[in-house]
Structure 1
Amino acid sequence: MAAHPTDRLGFLLSLRGELAGARIRSALGVAGLPPRHAMTLTHLAPGPTSQRELAIVMRLDPSQLVAILNELEASGLAERRRDPADRRRHIVEITPAGSAALARVDDAVTQAERELFGDLTQAETALLRDLLNRVVVDPADHSCDAD
């Protein structure tokens, strides 16, 4: 007899992930940003970084990142400039408009998370975060990020 889909942890995580993803995408729509654009701004918020490092941290192909950055620049949310110390390198940073958009994203995502995780205690939320950070998605990558 086959197990019910919610008895299989992978199926349950996939189902809940799809539902959570849809809710977060809806929240991001409030700020008018696709998820990858919002994540890029989140990574840029702490301060300027090289385009290469940003691609590595975000685990994106550099050409994908270029497309995202082109759109963020066109919207005035991020800017790139040549590194004066190494002209081959691009430095990327969030603009004041990008910071304002990120604040809207944070507000919308906070509300979505309240709805998604409202029945969990703080301890349960912390445990869930820890457990999910330990899930190995790429077998070659055992360095689970705690972002």
Structure 2
Amino acid sequence: MAAAHPIDRLGFLLSFRGELAGTRIRAALAVAGLHPRNAMTLVRLAPGATSQRELAAAMEVDPSQLVAVLNELESAGLCERRRDPADRRRHIVEITPAGRQVLERIDQEVNTAERELFGDLSAEEQAQLRDLLDRVLVDPATHECSE
């Protein structure tokens, strides 16, 4: 039996298109000088202050990795950490006004990138693609998708 052409393999096609989409989104984020993990951290902080531990859990990252990201964001003036007055062992993290401005810029750039990436799809097709991708198993051991 002849090997299938890579484009005929759904996994290859998804991987290839994912790399292209990832490159385009990283370029959109770079306009604001951010890496994807930094941008996602700001997005997670947008709704309001949260504990550093809760943020790490929501982002599914090791707390030590989050500390490095928060150090970068804090150095850039995009977020701030402070001790929780009710529990001095706990850190509260909050986005700054400068961080909100960067998020607005990121949002504009990502909107442009998504129009370029998905412009040939109707709103209904985009919703269908989102639904299908939500069903793709990322961790076969748990049969769950991770964010």
Same fold (TM over 0.5): yes
Give the equivalent residue in structure 1 for 2:89. 88
68-77 vs 134-143, which deviates more? 134-143
Asked if residue 76 in structure 1 is aligned to residue 77 in structure 2, the reply is yes
Give the equivalent residue in structure 2 for 1:57. 58
Number of equivalenced pairs:
146
With structure 1 as the length reference, what TM-score do the two structures score? 0.94
With structure 2 as the length reference, what TM-score do the two structures score? 0.94
SS at match of 2:48: coil
The residue type paired with residue 117 of structure 2 is: L
CA RMSD of aligned residues (A): 1.3
Give the equivalent residue in structure 2 for 1:100. 101
Distance in 2 of aligned mates of 1:117 and 1:139? 28
- Of all paired residues, the percent bearing the same amino acid is 73
40-49 vs 127-136, which deviates more? 127-136
Distance in 2 of aligned mates of 1:118 and 1:109? 13
Give the equivalent residue in structure 1 for 2:139. 138
Give the equivalent residue in structure 1 for 2:129. 128
Give the gaps of 5 or more residues in structure 2: none
Q: What is the deviation of 1:130?
A: 1.0
Q: What is the deviation of 1:139?
A: 2.5
Distance in 2 of aligned mates of 1:141 and 1:39? 24
Segments of 4+ in structure 1 off by > 6 A?
A: none
